[in-house]
Amino acid sequence: MTVSLPNPLLSAGPQKPSVDDLIRVFSLLCPHRGSMLAMSTMRAVYTNFRAARTALKDISRAREIAVVLVRHGFGHFVEAWQLQDKIVLAPILHKRDAEEDPLSPYERIALALQDLGPTFVKLGQILSTRPDLIPQELCDELKTLQDHVNTIDWNDAKTVVESSLGRTLQEAFSVFEESPLASASIAQVHCATLLDGTEVVVKVQRPGIGEKIEADLHILYWLAKKVEETVPEAEAFDPVAIVREFERAISKELDFKFEARNLTRFAKNFSTWDQVYIPQVYEELSSQTVMVMERLKGRKITEAVGHGYDMEAIGRDCVSLLFKMVFEDGFFHGDLHPGNLWVLEDGRVGLIDFGLVGRMSHANKDAMADLFLSIATKDCEGLAQTLYTIGIKRGKTDYSAFEADVAELMDIYFDNVSLANIDFGSYLREIIEGAIRHNLRVPSDFTMFFKAIMTVEGIGKQISPDLDIVAECKPYVERLVAERYSPQRVIKNTADTVQAFARFGQKFPLVAHQFLEHIDDGRLNIGVEYPDAEKMETSRRRRWNRLNLVLLTSVLFTAGIVMRNDSVNTLLGVPWPTTLCLVVASLLGIRLLWRILMSGDW
């Protein structure tokens, strides 16, 4: 439905007063100094009330989560985390038996996330792109998650847009369609027309979604800690770190200004590329909760086959734009699925949805070039060394075993197979899984790029079966390697090194002086730690105790002999002090001999 906008009337609705508004009014009514204490008390009461209300909401939400977990066969976690004691879950004590469920655990996790709502669906969607954090089988299941959400009420959507613009819809648009073009967990999109006739799409954030996600994040952190405590295998995936990374990603998606800046940067990077088009963003009409951008006319890339386009050229363009983003710009689209890749009416490739991006520093670009060169030249040693260098160590790694696994994978995928026929996506996925097995975690920007390669390769092979992704990558890698050893780069690296040494030389006298002062003042404690210090200390105490036992036995035996002439107090004709000393010395000697024989240290 299209909404006509004849009357410039603003329907913003009533606004809730904040605590600062209430205190401001109170200060006007009570201007004397004594009112300051009352104002402070009022602020504390209001803050505590809000905290209590938030806690009650969290408890209610936790109960919903517990119900969903039980419904999908995870009732044992509810019991292990004592949710049933904390929030009185009597109605759900009848738990489903997970062993009788025909679905796999990963399928049940996906269904549970779907039932838990937008925040958890978004978490699952982001995790589906991170095979370095969770098993590949779970990634595959999470890819099926969809945003099954109700559309925003038209009056609410209108209020959000008008509040963002600071004016009525009629003052900014000649047409604004009431029915959304698409609806997702965080926002929905409406088609509109500017006053000059330009067709645009307006992305509108759901009212209150920030508060809901914040509440869910509190619970997610709590759940992540409980998972670490009750599931030993989860330690390898670091659930708390996953939630922390999700929080960073979702906070950026909630800020549409961030996406608008990304869009502007991509448009600048591809300004000289005729075969790729980035839509224009209207920053003067955009804000943190609303983004207005040019509407693209075309088809999703997977729906363009059979409509007269040169799909082979389009497939190459998709691969080339990805490698340009990474190897030239160091700034790439992090969510290149078919819905975000369009074929425009004139045959160009159009991109949308710039909320998730990755970055590559010069060092990371060099590492990525080394990785692709090693793959192209079938250099398993170089590939293993590059992966080990960029990997985040999460424990002891047997490098020799890791290199052997890399070599075995290369033999499996490259033996008697041309580079054009290699399943590159599967190969990268197995490399990531192999690194995880050896306590190496691939950094997020690398895994985001690997996921983009897998997606683009899959799309490219679907629309152009003869696409050779390694051949398309080769020119970019060669240029990057040539640039690395160019005179300008060598001079720059040398200058940076000299400058770093110069800064170190300037700071060293001061740092050395402070170090010596700390030693003189006793503020510096130096500790030496031995890996087997506890065992060494136990062994030392054991030897010392044995020595003391030998000395005590000798003293008692000697004392018994010395007191044998005491005839005043006797026991069976033998002085009782002598008897006592000899008995105790004998018992101690037998115990000492027994301990030595049992330990084998003799």
Q: Is 105 left (phi over 0), alpha (psi -120 to 50) or beta?
A: alpha
pLDDT tens digits for range 180-222? 998 888 899 999 999 999 999 999 999 988 888 888 888 888 8
Q: For residue 208, tell me if it sits in a domain.
A: no
The answer to whether position 72 is within a domain reads: no
Local confidence band at 15 (pLDDT 50, 70, 90 cut-offs): very low
Domain that holds residue 556: 538-599
For 126, the 3-state DSSP assignment is helix
Judge whether 543 lies within some domain.
Answer: yes
Q: Single out the catalytic residue among 335, 353, 370, 468.
A: 335
Share of the chain above pLDDT 90, in %: 22
Other Cβ atoms within 10 Å of 592 Cβ, number: 16
User: According to the model, what pLDDT value does residue 148 have?
Assistant: 63
Would residue 186 count as lying in a domain?
Answer: no
Round to whole Å and give the CA distance between 144 and 224.
Answer: 23
User: From the CB of residue 263, how many other CB atoms can be counted at a distance below 10 Å?
Assistant: 25
521 shares a domain with 595: no
444/265: higher pLDDT: 265
Co-location of 369 and 449 in the same domain: yes
Q: Round to whole Å and give the CA distance between 120 and 134.
A: 15
Residue 357 covered by a domain: yes
Residue 407 shares a structural domain with residue 506: no
Q: Are 332 and 429 contained in the same domain?
A: yes
**pLDDT exceeds 60 at position 6:** no
Tally of domains in the chain = 3
| Rg of the chain (C-alpha set) | 35
Does 14 score more than 60 pLDDT? no
Residue 335 appears among annotated catalytic residues = yes
Q: Whole-angstrom Cα distance, residue 540 to residue 543? A: 5
Residues 395 and 423 both lie in one domain:
yes
**Average model confidence (pLDDT) for the chain?**
77
Kindly state whether residue 532 falls inside one of the protein's structural domains: no
Do both 492 and 470 map to the same domain? no
513 and 446 share one domain: no
Sign of CA dihedral 9, 13, 14, 17: negative
Instruction: Mention every residue, 6+ apart, whose C-beta is less than 8 A from residue 593.
Output: none
Residues 351 and 460 in one domain: yes
The verdict on 343 and 386 lying in the same domain is yes
User: Does residue 265 surpass a pLDDT of 80?
Assistant: yes
Half-sphere CA count of 41, side-chain side, radius 13 A: 5
Is 108 within the bounds of a domain? no
Give per-residue pLDDT as tens, 270-318: 999 999 999 999 999 999 999 999 999 999 998 898 888 999 899 889 9
**441 belongs to a structural domain:** yes
Task: Decide which of 485, 518, 548 is a domain's last residue.
Answer: 485
